[in-house]
Amino acid sequence: MNKKELYQKVIAHFEATMPVAETELHYNSHFELIVAVVLSAQCTDKRVNMITPALFRDFPTAEAMASTTPEVIFEYIKSISYPNNKAKHLVGLAQMLVNDYQGEVPRTLEELTKLPGVGRKTANVIQSVAFHKATMAVDTHVYRVSHRIGLVPLSCTTPLSTEKYLMKYLPRAIVPKAHHWLILHGRYTCTAKKPKCEICGLNGLCKYSIKPFEIKSL
């Protein structure tokens, strides 16, 4: 089976089994989305969703968050990973949104990555989820699953090389959905330590199910 055929079979599987694939983060605006995505770095969406209701209630806009301090934000987010850094990033991000973008979340990779706490992965999530652009954010799940299935070669050892390879073969129209397919598959089926190969519909296509191997983690 060549690479094009593998992609076609994997896409067909996910279209049939996961026709609706969306972020599991809870948000009601582009500002809330970017805050939630920043908070989700090295933290589960479930944990983020537990602390954001109070945070969004008291700081629903960039203007509101820009007027407070990292010390105040820390008290809302102290149960997640790296709360000190994230509190500083969120206040700085909100201030930049107010000062440079009239309080609105910008749309381009260049603009987004200027914001505190926003790297390429976060920027790609925002572009995809908020603005429906064909961008592929490579987190640990996307990286692991795409390598195990064989969608990308083992020579793709960085998030950027993995992103570029996936974008080469995925139809642009389904890239936003494919991003969530890979995340959700990695989160619930193709888990890091004990992948559930026995119940996976890709068993037989997937390189890992045929011969387990280790890949360099992010």
Q: How far apart are CA 89 and CA 95, in angstroms?
A: 10
| Annotated active-site residue in 3, 46, 100, 139 | 139
Q: How many CB atoms lie within 10 A of CB 204?
A: 10
Count of positions (residues) in the chain: 218
CA distance 64 to 142: 34
Integer CA distances (angstroms), 14 to 75, 137, 141, 162, in order: 40, 18, 16, 19
The one catalytic residue among 4, 9, 45, 121: 121
Helix-then-strand count for the chain, H and E: 12, 0
Q: Is 45 a known active-site residue?
A: no
Tokens matching residue 2: 């060549």
Rounded to the nearest angstrom, the gap between the alpha carbon of residue 165 and the centroid of all alpha carbons in its chain is: 17
Q: Is 58 a catalytic residue?
A: no
Question: Which residues have a catalytic role annotated?
Answer: 121, 139
